[in-house]
Amino acid sequence: MTDARTAGVAGVLRRLWRGWTRVGRALGDLQARILLTVFYFLVVAPFALVVRLTADPLALRPGTPRGWRVRAPAEPLTLERARQQS
């Protein structure tokens, strides 16, 4: 009688544990979505907005010079310079 009783209790506890883990997983998923959404709107979105408003990588804004851009001449390629690479 005792073995059957403990087996029944173990089965009930096992079902309760499985149900609780499902609830815990659902709550964890919900919490992660909420936290990631808050992080996105408080950190990532303002940073992206500032970068977008201040950057002009294609020089499309009025007042930027058109045509070729002047750049400093490159150093000559020598064997000694190649040896200095790490």
- Whether 49 is in a domain gets the answer yes
- Whether 73 is in a domain gets the answer no
The answer to whether residue 59 scores a pLDDT higher than 70 is yes
- Whether 28 is in a domain gets the answer yes
The answer to whether residue 9 scores a pLDDT higher than 70 is yes
Q: What is the pLDDT of residues 21-46, one digit of tens each?
A: 999 999 999 999 999 999 999 999 99
Model pLDDT, residue 32: 98
Number of domains in the chain: 1
Which sign, positive or negative, has the C-alpha torsion 29, 35, 38, 43? negative
Model pLDDT, residue 64: 82
Higher pLDDT, 49 or 58: 49
Quote the domain boundaries for residue 9. Answer: 1-57
Alpha-helical runs (H) found in 1-86? 2-39, 45-54, 79-83
- Whether 64 is in a domain gets the answer no
- Whether 78 is in a domain gets the answer no
